[in-house]
Amino acid sequence: MNCEQGGVVIIGAGLAGLVAASEALDAGLKIRILDQENDANLGGQAYWSFGGLFLVDTPEQRRLGVHDSFDLAWSDWQHSAQFDRLADEDLWAHRWAKAYVEFAATEKRSWIKQKGIDLTPVVGWAERGDGRAEGHGNSVPRFHIAWGTGTGVSEPFANKVREGMRTGKVQVLNRHRVTGLVVEGGSVTGVRGEILSLDNALRGWKSTRNVESEFEFSAEAVVIATGGIGGNHDLVRRFWPSRLGSAPGHMITGVPEYVDGSGIELSEAAGARLVNRDRMWHYTEGIQNWNSIWPNHGIRILPGPSSMWFDAEGNRLGAACLPGDDTLGTLKYLRTDPVAKKYDYSWFVLNQRILEKEFALSGSEQNPDLTNRDKAGVIKDRVFGTGAPGPVNDFLNRGADFVAATTVEELASKMNAIAPETVVDASKLHQQLLVRDSQIDNAFSKDQQIQSIRNARKYIGDRLTRVVAPHKILDPAAGPLVAVKLHILTRKSLGGLQTDLSGRVLQQDGRVFEGLYAAGEASGFGGGGIHGYNALEGTFLGGCLFSGRQVGRAVVDAVR
């Protein structure tokens, strides 16, 4: 067995772990990072992300006419989180949430810029809400996109670690899978695990689990930064909350397979407290990746507001279930409505004009212009361009979930061909499209979705880049018609290891578990769940940045 002593051990080479390591390196500490995957995976899930960051009252917002403030953002956060376990599981989560919103409204922008993260000028309006001022959602656009997308967020910290490796201050041990914590006298004093055989799999690919030997390291501090459970459907179903109905029999996966919950489970086995495990965040607009990287790989459509949403049998969803408005509200509807819950999928119905303007895909690899920092290309294609973006067009032509047709009858026939579990009636679908289109003739409407489209276009950022002018879906000039089969896409755990504001993990009795820290998704992005029941988007990467920073600084104070 390989045994070594001392130092700080960080389990997980994703964004939160890298940020914690960066803070420790700035203070002159020596770091050992353990990760079960190979060195191609430095940066973890964040590398694959769209790169959205929640920020409040920024110059980017003000230039676009958005008036934001800490008070408005904190109000939105609390109404979305709906913290209802304040005496127990939400005790520290609520404190973390307020600290995070304060961070987002003050030094976050200058801090990320100093670290090397640059922002695009357009601010997106994600999670527009459930239609109530006192309900879930963002009152204003806050979704700032980094140049480089997820790579633009993760790579500055990955480069910091690479430099530490060159100078001997950081040791990154890949293919080292931690299986247990060493606990002595009530404190965590090290880790133990297995050394896996070398595997040259590409980033994100499934790797082998062949064990070659074992290891054990002692440590002055251990940081759990291993992510959540989104790649482990068994755990997702195990903790699926009854308030969201029944768990789907079929889901697709929005994170690599190694996001399996092992880090939080081994921490719990050692005596750490896991809270809010029934809170999770899964998307309802998932599509099967035609060019998969990890098993069962799904991509999320980032929809504008104009596509019509139908259940598997072709019934339009309720008024609150609008594209881009309320992720978990729509998930709840799809899993509890008597008709919708019989199936594991739903439908977008739209036309080519909507697809070209409003369809974006989540992920660094799906946005090459932003990922490659092609500023001229972004302006040319996203503001003045015609036709669908290249990656969207690839899905339209190659994706298993896309069909196109010139008539509703043909469209329904193709929908039924790729989803034979039930039948979408063409005449019923046609009638619903006609009724919707009847609301376009005036500048006002009783249809909540049409109201939402017009409201979105009052924001210049959406009008320029994301929301097509209201028009009739059945207008032949806007065709052909398009239908997209949508799957539930697993993504984030909102609960996790309960931590204090320093990121110190708590034990089952609420006392500090000396020597053990947690950051990122493993800690519910701080405190065991800063989001409560709902997220406002841009807060997952931001939560990794903030919790990683907090933990890194706390470890420095404890060890130095």
Residue type, 386: T
Q: How many helices (H) and strands (E) does the chain have?
A: 18, 23
Residue 58's contacts (CB-CB under 8 Å, 6 or more residues apart) are 68, 109, 119, 123, 144
Provide the pLDDT for residue 556: 98
**Which token pair is 150?**
């997820």
Provide the pLDDT for residue 319: 81
**Which token pair is 287?**
């599509």
Provide the pLDDT for residue 376: 86
pLDDT tens for the chain, residues 1 to 560: 555 666 999 999 999 999 999 999 999 999 999 999 999 999 999 999 999 999 999 999 999 999 999 999 999 999 999 999 999 999 999 999 999 999 999 999 999 999 999 999 989 999 999 999 999 999 999 999 999 999 999 999 999 999 999 999 999 999 999 999 999 999 999 999 999 999 999 999 999 999 999 999 999 999 999 999 999 999 999 999 999 999 999 999 999 999 999 999 999 999 999 999 999 999 999 999 999 999 999 999 999 999 999 999 999 998 889 999 999 999 999 999 999 999 999 999 999 999 999 999 999 999 999 999 998 888 887 877 788 999 999 999 999 999 999 999 999 999 999 999 999 999 999 999 999 999 999 999 999 999 999 999 999 999 999 999 999 999 999 999 999 999 999 999 999 999 999 999 999 999 999 999 999 999 999 999 999 999 999 999 999 999 999 999 999 999 98
Provide the pLDDT for residue 502: 98
Give the residue among 424, 467, 453, 430 at the shortest CA–CA distance from 322. 453
Asked if 496 contacts 470 with a C-beta cutoff of 8 angstroms, the reply is no
Provide the b/e sequence for 421-434 (b: ≥16 CB within 10 Å). eeebebebbbebbe
The total of other beta-carbon atoms located within 10 Å of residue 184's CB is 10
The total of other beta-carbon atoms located within 10 Å of residue 38's CB is 18
Provide the pLDDT for residue 482: 98
Measured distance between the N- and C-terminal CA atoms of the chain, rounded to whole angstroms:
29
Whole-angstrom distance, CA of residue 299 vs CA of residue 291 = 10
Provide the pLDDT for residue 27: 96
Pair type for strands 8-11 and 31-35: parallel
Provide the pLDDT for residue 225: 98
The total of other beta-carbon atoms located within 10 Å of residue 58's CB is 20
Q: Quote the pTM value.
A: 0.97
Whole-angstrom distance, CA of residue 397 vs CA of residue 406 = 15
H helices present in 359-473, as ranges: 368-371, 375-378, 390-398, 408-418, 426-437, 448-456, 460-465
H helices present in 217-284, as ranges: 233-238, 262-270
Query: Quick one: 334 exposed, middle or buried, by C-beta within 10 A (0-12, 13-18, 19+)?
Result: buried
